[in-house]
Structure formats: structure tokens, C-alpha cells
Amino acid sequence: MRQIEGITDNSKQDFSIVLDDGSLLGLSLIYRPTIQRWSFDITHEKLNLNGKILCTFPNLLRVYRNNIPFGIMIFVLDSTDPIYIDDFLNDRAQIYILSENDVQAIEDSLRSLI
């Protein structure tokens, strides 16, 4: 699990992340002030998503877990969603890129709750 560092309070930010398997993940974060929410776009050889809302969840990409070798986890200190433009700058919220092993560990944890 790797935290994405260097997120600021700019309303549009782009990141290129090399994943454990060597593939490249393009991640765009967009703050939408009219709804006080962050959204994201993803570009990867196995997945393209646009305009998805960031919310606190162990793996935002869970539905794609059988098709991609990574996941995205959002953690917020007060267990709400990231809604402020400076949430990542002041460390109220963090974004983590999950490896394939991290995704499997989360799945195992979820199964143990059922």
C-alpha cells in the first residue's frame, strides 16, 4: 500500500504512478466546489474511468478487482468523505494505491465479516 504524496489544494491535479507490475496508472483528481466533492479519473491499460466520486472505502475499484492488479483506498481521519479542497493538503484525507496483495487482503477481511 502506497500513499499518494504531494496532493495540494489545486482543484485539478494529475499523477502518473508506476504500479508494482510495471504498468502506468494515470490518476486525475478534480475538486468540484458546487457539490463539495472530489472526483477522479483513471487511465490504465486495463481500465479507464471518468468522473467517479472519491469516498471513504477500503477499495474504490473493488468491482474491477478481477480485471486489474491494483486498487484505491480512501482514508479520512473522521471516517467521513473528503469534501474540502484542502483535505489532502492538511492530511485529513489520504489516498493509497493498493497492490494486488493488498486488494486480496481486503477481500479476505471482507469475507471474514460475512
pLDDT tens digits, one per residue of 43-88: 999 999 999 999 999 999 999 999 999 999 999 999 999 999 999 9
DSSP secondary structure string, 63-112? GGTTT-S-EEEEEETTSS---STTTTTTTSEEEEEEPHHHHHHHHHHHHH
Output the pTM of the full model.
0.92
pLDDT tens digits, one per residue of 15-34: 999 999 999 999 999 999 99
pLDDT tens digits, one per residue of 36-51: 999 999 999 999 999 9
